[in-house]
Amino acid sequence: MDRDRLDLSPDEMRTLGYRVVDLLVDHFANGEDEPLGEAPSREELEARLREDLPEEGSPPDAVLDQVEENVLPNTMRVDHPRFFGFVPGPNNFIGVLADLLASGFNIFSGTWISGAAAAQIELVVIDWLRELCGLPETTGGLFTSGGSMANVTALAAARHASLDDDVTGAVAYCSDQTHTSVDRALRLLGFRPDQLRRVPSDDRYRLDPSALRDAVAADRAAGRCPFCVIANAGTTNTGAVDPLPALADLADAEDLWLHVDGAYGAPSVICERGQKRLDGIERVDSLTMDPHKWLFQPFEIGGVLVRNAHHLRRAFRLEAEYLEDAVGEADEINFSAYGIQLTRSFRALKLWMTFKVFGRRHVATAVERGFEHAERAERLLRERPEWTVVTPAQMGIVTFRCEPEGWPSDRVDTLTRRLVSAMNENGEAFLTQTTLDGRPVLRLCPINPRTEAASLQNTIDRLEAIRGALSEAP
C-alpha cells in the first residue's frame, strides 16, 4: 500500500477496524467489571508517552497496542456505571457508531452545499428538542462542541438582539451557583467581570427573584442597563433549578433576555420527572441543553436553542467571497451562519440515530433511572445516623456529609475531603466534592442508566467503612 497517500489496504482497514470494534464492544459489555481507570501523575505519563515525533511509521497494530496499554487505562472511564463524579458521560454504542460514520465520511456540517442531509437532520433533531421543551416554531438552534460553546453562542445572540453589540453599561444577572462557563462567555463577548451580577441564591441554591428584582432596580437607578438574566435548569453543584416561571415574569416585566443554562438538566425534560421540575422552560429566550450530558451521547455535542432563530442568524451571519457558492436557497440552512464554527462535524447524527434506535420512550426511561438512583442514594443516606443530606436528590444529584455527633465543623470538613480521596484511591467508585456555603460536601451524580442499585448501596457502604477506618487512624 502507498503510505505516501496515507493508505491502508482494505484488509488492513478491516482487521484494524474489527479490533477497534471488539475493544469497544468489550468496553460496553463489561460495564461494571471494568476498572474505573486512573489519573496517573504527569511524571508517570511523561515516562510512558513522551517521545520524539516519529520520522518513520510503525505497524498500526503496534500503535493500537500502545493505546490499549498506555492510553485507555490512564483515563477515567466517565461512562463507567460507578463513576458518580462531576457530570458523568454515559454514552451509548449507537452514538459511538454514528460518530465513527460522521468522521469516517468526514461530513461537513457547516453549509448546505457540502452537507445537505446533515443540515436537514440537524434541523429535525433541533426541532425534536424544541418540541420537548414546548418552545414555539420560531425557535432555531444548533449543536455545538458543548455547554460552554452553547452558552457563548446564546449570549452572543442576546448581546446582539438586546444591545446591538454595545456592551457599555450593560449588566447581566445570575445566581452564585452559575457555571463558570457563563463568566467566560461574557468575558469573551467583551463584558468586564463587574458586568455580571452574581445574585446570592436562596436556601435551596436557587436564584431568588426578589433579590434579582432589587439588583435590577439598583442598576437602573445607577444609570446602568440591565439586559439579561441567566438562570439555571440544573446547577452543576446540586442540580437546583431556578424558579423559571417567576424569572420569566420578571424578565418580561423588565424587558430582559432570559437565557437558561440547562446544559446538564434541560435534557431531562424528556421524562416526566424532568418535565415537572422544568416548568417554565418553554418561556426562555435561549437555552443551553447538552446531549453529551444527560442524553447519553459521546462528547462533543452541546446544544443551543433560541426562541427567535433570527436572533442567532443576525448575531452570526457574515458574508465571505470564498463562500459565495455556499449561500443556496433561502430555506437551505447553512449552520455556519448560526454559530461560531464554519467547519463543523456532523454531531446531530449521533442523537438522531440514538432516538431512532431506542425511541423517545427508552431514552426517557434511561433519564428517569438517574432521578431514581439519586433518590435511592438519598434514602440510603438518610437511614444512616451520622450522615446528613445537604441537598436532596434533584436532577440526579445528591450532596451530603458525614457529621459524627459532637464533631466541630472543621473536623467534619477534613473528614469530607478524606472520604473523597480515600474512596477514589480505592478505585471501586468515583465521586467528587463541591463547596456549599463555604463548606465541602460530598456529591453523587448517578445518572448512568447502566448503574445497578446494588452498586449505589455498595458505594455508600464503602464510604461508611472508610469513615470507620479513618476515625480509627491516628
Q: Which residue has the cell 445572540?
A: 157
Is 88 a binding residue for ligand PLP by CB under 6 A? The answer is no
Q: Looking at 98, 263, 393, 398, which residue binds ligand PLP (CB under 6 A)?
A: 263
Q: Are 297 and 92 a contacting pair, CB within 8 Å?
A: yes
Cβ proximity to ligand PLP: between 141 and 147 the closer is 147
**According to the binding rule CB under 6 A, does residue 261 interact with ligand PLP?**
yes
Cβ 289 to ligand PLP, closest distance in Å?
A: 10
Interface with ligand PLP in residues 148-167 (CB under 6 A): 148
- Say whether residue 146 binds ligand PLP (CB under 6 A): yes
Contact characters 278-317, ligand PLP, x per CB under 6 A: ------------x-----------x---------------
Query: Which listed residue (83, 112, 264, 387) binds ligand PLP by CB under 6 A?
Result: 264
- Does 430 bind ligand PLP (CB under 6 A)? Our answer is no
At 173, the amino acid letter reads Y
Distance CA 177, CA 105 (A): 41
Cell of 364: 426517557
Number of residues forming the site for ligand PLP (CB under 6 A): 12
Please return the burial class of 437, using the count of CB atoms within 10 Å of its CB with bins 0-12, 13-18 and 19+.
Answer: exposed
Give dist(CA 448, CA 446) in Å, integer: 6
Cβ–Cβ contacts within 10 Å for residue 163, how many?
A: 18
Residue with cell 445497578: 452
92, 236, 345, 354: which one binds ligand PLP (CB under 6 A): 236
Binding segment toward ligand PLP, per CB under 6 A, in 15-23, 220-228, 257-265, 413-421: 257-265
- Which residue number, 267 or 402, has a Cβ lying nearer to ligand PLP? 267
According to DSSP, residue 52 is labeled P
> All 3 cell numbers of residue 74?
490512564
Q: Smallest gap, in angstroms, from Cβ of residue 320 to ligand PLP?
A: 27
Distance CA 151, CA 345 (A): 19
Nearer to ligand PLP, 145 or 334 (CB): 145
Stretch that binds ligand PLP, among 47-55, 129-137, 214-222, 256-264 (CB under 6 A): 256-264
Using CB under 6 A, which of the segments 54-62, 146-154, 206-214, 377-385 binds ligand PLP? 146-154
| Integer-rounded Cα radius of gyration of the chain | 24
147 binds ligand PLP (CB under 6 A): yes
Which of 77, 81, 84, 87 is close enough to bind ligand PLP by CB under 6 A?
A: 87
By C-beta, is 89 or 115 nearer to ligand PLP? 89
Note whether 183 binds ligand PLP by CB under 6 A: no
- According to the binding rule CB under 6 A, does residue 443 interact with ligand PLP? no
Strand ranges for 315-438 from DSSP E: 387-394, 397-402, 432-436
Instruction: Please tell me the distance from the alpha carbon of residue 307 to that of residue 416, in angstroms, as a whole number.
Output: 43
Q: How far apart are CA 294 and CA 468, in angstroms?
A: 34
Contact footprint for ligand PLP (CB under 6 A): 87, 146-148, 179, 181, 236, 261, 263-264, 290, 302
